[in-house]
Amino acid sequence: MSNQIVVHNDKVLSFNDAVSFREQMRNRKKIAEKTLEKLEKDIEALTRGIENSCEHKWVKVVNVDSRGQQEQYCTVCFKHVILNGSGG
């Protein structure tokens, strides 16, 4: 195995270095995924806080694709609500 090489991104690596580099990349990916997951949860929590604190300015719309279902969204925080019934 010591003579085997791997070409990656126009670089020539020894086989062992390539295996090691792949493991390093997998570990970095796991860390990035955990970081992204935490960031997504933080964004969701902040969004809920913004929506709960907003003095909403609602705009009603009719969703033609959903058989005329009425919806509304806030022009300030962009909270989206589906209204039950046809009268709002």
**What SS3 string covers the chain?**
CCCCEEEECCEEEEHHHHHHHHHHHHHHHHHHHHHHHHHHHHHHHHHHHHHHHCCCCEEEEEEHHHCCEEEEEECCCCCEEECCCCCC
The yes-or-no verdict on residue 88 having pLDDT over 50 is no
pTM above 0.75, yes or no: no
In the chain, what percentage of residues exceed pLDDT 70? Answer: 91
Instruction: Return the pLDDT at 84.
Output: 73
pLDDT tens across 9-42, in order? 999 999 999 999 999 999 999 999 999 999 999 9
